[in-house]
């Protein structure tokens, strides 16, 4: 028999989170597809891999599979995740923690490709496997959980449960019923003994029915339920599937802020026996089992591209005062560079360091050089194969001339298709040939909208919204400006 009340482990998980106020997986990033056919997914793991963090991946909505995980320097771990161009790849992390004889799980949410119900349990993420033969106060094979799963889409939360019996009856007799519930809580409000539950049971008119409930606990540990929404439920293949609308949950005024500080919810499932006492006309609950509690972090890691888009180096500067080299790194596919170096001509090669790890936007890279170089270049690669070189020439500084300013672009954003032609103004130019290209969100080059010489440090031209004679449709695109080893990337939106 389990010697702790099910809510203990649930609240324990939340208290551990509150003490850390941290996502256990920090600075998560991915490379492009490398020569071995893998993405290199890296993150800083606060456990230092002492607990054996796992990485799972799913291709085109298929079953989750294990990816090999290895430890790099310090707390940094790396997973090798197979990928073929054109596929929709999802990947996520999971870590088990044993504390005071309780197993708790940290995991990133297994996201589904669509809101189908019931989803296959292999498309969901295993939370954990609970020991059999244990109980809190009432034992029965139908109340004894074994495995539990969870999943999500932007609209719904999903749960799946397995038990020893392989069936989930809700009625034992006219006065005895079974209740199966997946309990969900916001860690920022769980200290008030408030939780929510997708509850599957027999429909007792005027008393209780399947649905989404707000759950509070009294001083004796007995739950009180307030129905706030509907659920989907189905028993299939010996497993119980449940789903609720995320908006019904987060829209409750007592739920607290969502997304919260750590973008996470706590999950566990509990089984109960509800007996209707004819003498008191009240329902008495006896707890059966609870499943492995989990902190589920809502991070949707998706990689979906047709080809590699090369990284860009923008605003390359070497500061004469302190020999500090810096530039803005940007990659259309959000890849981090496996190679980021400054090579001094006829001198040493210096590794560059990022100042942040959000590769969905520009990341500043810096390094202190051993001396002020005359010439050199930045070498970048997001896959270890395609090398991009951006040249630096410091001779203009020694000649007393001003170094060319950084490229800049002024344009309306968003652009309304009916308002074409659009004005695009570029500044920070020199008299070298200039090229302006348009890319889509997959990193594919759609075409060139300007190519030619420049007579001044500024250029303004009109663009009709077409590439290679064809009008672009509504969506998100990237403008890439190239001149004399310098580059600028600008994201823009086209609307109707």
- The CATH number, out of the four listed (2.40.160.10, 3.30.70.980, 2.60.40.2550, 2.30.30.30), of the domain defined by the range 405-496: 2.60.40.2550
What's the topology of domain 306-403? Answer: Immunoglobulin-like (2.60.40)
pLDDT grade for 7, boundaries at 50, 70 and 90: very low
- The pLDDT of residue 215 is 86
pTM greater than the 0.85 cutoff? no
Among positive and negative, which fits the CA dihedral 36, 38, 44, 48? negative
Q: For residues 238 and 490, which has the higher predicted lDDT (pLDDT)? A: 238
Residues 6+ apart with CB under 8 A from 19: none
If you search the block for the tokens 């509070």, which residue do you land on?
216
- The pLDDT of residue 66 is 96
In the chain, ranges of CATH 2.60.40.10 domains: 306-403
Over 80: is that where the pLDDT of 280 sits? Answer: no
pLDDT grade for 11, boundaries at 50, 70 and 90: very low
Edge-to-edge strands, sheet with 363-368? 312-319, 324-330, 363-368, 353-354
The residue count of the chain comes to 496
- The pLDDT of residue 191 is 56
**φ, ψ at 180 (rounded to 5°):** -120, 130
If you search the block for the tokens 């909208």, which residue do you land on?
449
Q: For residues 49 and 141, which has the higher predicted lDDT (pLDDT)? A: 141
Rounded CA separation 281/351 (Å): 75
Rounded CA separation 483/407 (Å): 9
pLDDT grade for 9, boundaries at 50, 70 and 90: very low
Over 60: is that where the pLDDT of 12 sits? Answer: no
Q: pLDDT above 70 covers what percent of the chain?
A: 90
Number of neighbours of residue 209 by Cβ within 10 angstroms: 14
Lowest mean pLDDT, pick from 1-5, 40-44, 259-263: 1-5
In the chain, ranges of CATH 2.60.40.2550 domains: 405-496
């Amino acid at each position: 028999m389990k010697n702790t009340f099910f809510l203990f482990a649930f609240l324990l998980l939340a208290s551990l989170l509150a003490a850390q106020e941290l996502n256990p997986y920090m600075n998560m990033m991915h490379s492009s597809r490398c020569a071995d056919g893998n993405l290199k997914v890296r993150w800083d793991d606060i456990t230092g891999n002492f607990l054996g963090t796992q990485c799972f991946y799913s291709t085109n909505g298929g079953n989750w599979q294990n990816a090999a995980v290895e430890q790099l320097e310090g707390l940094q771990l790396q997973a090798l995740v197979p990928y073929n161009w054109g596929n929709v790849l999802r990947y996520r992390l999971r870590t088990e923690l044993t504390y005071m004889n309780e197993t708790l799980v940290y995991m990133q949410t297994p996201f589904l490709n669509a809101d189908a119900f019931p989803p296959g349990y292999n498309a969901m993420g295993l939370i954990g496997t609970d020991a059999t033969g244990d109980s809190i106060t009432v034992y029965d094979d139908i109340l004894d959980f074994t495995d539990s799963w969870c999943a999500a889409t932007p609209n719904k939360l999903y749960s799946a449960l397995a038990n020893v019996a392989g069936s989930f009856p809700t009625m034992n007799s006219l006065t005895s019923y079974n209740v199966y519930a997946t309990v969900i809580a916001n860690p920022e409000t769980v200290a008030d003994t408030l939780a929510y539950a997708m509850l599957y049971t027999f429909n007792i008119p005027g008393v209780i029915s399947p649905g989404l409930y707000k759950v509070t606990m009294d001083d004796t540990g007995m739950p009180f339920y307030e129905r706030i929404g509907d659920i989907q439920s189905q028993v299939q293949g010996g497993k119980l599937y449940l789903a609720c609308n995320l908006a019904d949950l987060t829209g409750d005024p007592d739920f607290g802020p969502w997304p919260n500080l750590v973008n996470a919810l706590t999950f566990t499932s509990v089984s109960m026996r509800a007996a209707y006492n004819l003498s008191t006309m009240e329902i008495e609950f006896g707890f059966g089992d609870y499943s492995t509690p989990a902190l589920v972090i809502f991070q949707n890691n998706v990689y979906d591209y047709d080809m590699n888009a090369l990284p860009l180096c923008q605003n390359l500067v070497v500061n004469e005062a302190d020999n500090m080299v810096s530039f803005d790194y940007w990659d259309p596919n959000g890849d981090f560079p496996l190679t980021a170096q400054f090579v001094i001509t006829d001198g040493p090669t210096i590794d560059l360091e990022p100042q942040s790890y959000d590769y969905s936007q520009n990341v500043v890279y810096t390094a202190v050089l051993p001396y002020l170089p005359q010439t050199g270049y930045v070498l970048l690669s997001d896959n270890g194969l395609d090398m991009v070189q951006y040249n630096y020439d410091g001779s203009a500084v020694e000649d007393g001339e001003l170094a060319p300013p950084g490229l800049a672009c002024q344009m309306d954003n968003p652009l309304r298709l009916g308002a074409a032609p659009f004005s695009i103004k570029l500044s920070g130019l020199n008299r070298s040939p200039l090229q302006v290209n348009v890319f889509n969100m997959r990193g594919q080059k759609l075409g060139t909208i300007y190519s030619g010489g420049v007579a001044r440090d500024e250029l303004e031209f009109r663009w009709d919204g077409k590439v290679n004679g064809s009008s672009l449709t509504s969506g998100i695109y990237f403008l890439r400006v190239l001149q004399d080893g310098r580059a600028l990337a600008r994201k823009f939106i086209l609307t109707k």
